[in-house]
Structure 1
């Protein structure tokens, strides 16, 4: 059921983006009296789930869910219909139109993607506002988790100030900042320290994710017992789930990460721990194992509960529509710039970021397992901006390739030959197929590991 919900959201989002992208080509083509032969959601190789001809255009749904297309007369595209190009140009054909009109037709899809992404983000800001943990609220620093955090020079209690010189506003932006960044600064006991991120940081982060480990840094949490292990030394003790441990043998603790160091000093000994239970403090005798454990499992508690207990102050910003416009545009810009930074890392083999390149399984998996309108539209806005930028890349089979050739024509006054465009389209097609195979192969490899 979970897979079905994720897949349904993915197909719905993808279909919406494809239809609107192709509509961005379709509308200016019609305005410039250019014939559009087909308007398809998904690809229809030898078979269509649905098709209907209205005027000169066949509207349909294909059976291969890898995208969609509009087939414009007199244009070398993914259909590779070269027979049409051997005939004399007709007035209604794409190749007969002025270069500036062809440029607008080609940029229409990308324009729609960017506008759609911005529009969705504006609506999200207006409808839901922003709720987050401000980085400034994490006054006692971070809780480092795992060897990677230690390797890049972090310690429990460090306050992460900036990444690549930019102040961190939201705590949850830290991991993305590390992915995109090259250096960062921390406050450690009042001293500001600069650190460089290793070139292969992303590669190590991917390996960590593949091992199902969590984020490298988290807010510091109080020591709340989630479960008492019945087969441990203290299985029959008076410790209970939901107890807050506030002191260990008289040593006060505020955060869970402080406990291990104290427990290590009492290995193999009988001690007492102070717990808060239903508003009252209680001393509980326990035994410490030779490994420094007391046989309980720690549990996280929601941010809202942490705020109620006075650990953090959450931000809850509401926007009027006029306020949501600049907020949504800012969000769109940060989404685009973060994506471009990540793409640069992918094309640098030293970073190992290419190992994390994913296909349809990876994209589908980012949708939640339960329906959430806010999550769905947030992901759709991100995918829309991503799709817009990807289509601007100067690869011949993409809109960006056609744009480059058209701009060349406008600047030089020389139009590339149909044969050149045909060969360029073939090369671009194989590049895209290779990229799809690699990305989806990565997905399959991860599933088989």
Structure 2
């Protein structure tokens, strides 16, 4: 027979166990499972009943937007070959959660390494992506591997959805990337209990990540970027600074300038009239497909889908399905209108000694030479990859994984690298 003291102890432990499933005071952390299948029949009906032109109005290639035959092919695959339940099941193989931070519901994936000294790492996506663009790199990063210097490294990986994207709630008006950085720092430190962490950012996620890197220099102790939230330098500026580029870099630089001059129509629309495009395409899955797929097709390596690339049509259709089925296309495009100063022209050095690593993928639409990246952070590594473009996590996962692992050679965190609070182990035990 158990003693009253023992029973009291067990009751207290059980109470603590259940209480921790909500993530402690104020954060309401809960396990989350994706279940959007109920909206698929209507989505498929709208796709099926959407009329498209029978032939192009003008034969101008992709310079004026997505080509009709590309859109028609994607539409046919969406109707006949794409299986949302299969994609949903694959996304649900990861541990998903939601937390409430400053009144905002934040969705995130949290995958932990089995290694005791794993480094906490947050991966921050951009537009028109989502957490989905990091799916190929998450689990490999949790596995122990050696850096180029031979150091063993692994990560506890956290992938949040930006406010207003897919399962994260739309933020208030005038919400900026700095606000997102603040709540993501809270997510890592107060919700998950990591006193220090590393980060990776791309596209708008690079602006959030750079704000974290710059403003939270005691908690962020290393950062890896594939995009810098400063306007890329012009050819004339490179000449003035006597910066010589390799032949491959010259091609990327020309692509960057093409994007600067003719590729930002979507940006101007979303930054100045987000409701126009947001309402127009809100209930049009094929319209969202045309708008989003155009970016995937134009901003990516033309070898997309060829191994090691995982940027297939299925990946694009999954991304668009996530936007449509979560009703988040409108709230996601608002990130442009809320951050018109998100990519300044004047390069400023972040007030931190945390190491910065940068990877330039050759087919990305922005190009920053090493000399310019060194102006904004404590640059310790700069790599150029001829394969891969704007969506590196899907287009060249092996290179991105390898480059992120290199942070292990430079990261010096304070305190325990595993969560200090009790939420993670216990909540995962309840959910799975």
Normalising by structure 2, we get a TM-score of: 0.21
| Higher RCO structure (Cα 8 Å, ≥6 apart) | 2
Larger Rg: 1
TM-score normalised to structure 1 length: 0.20
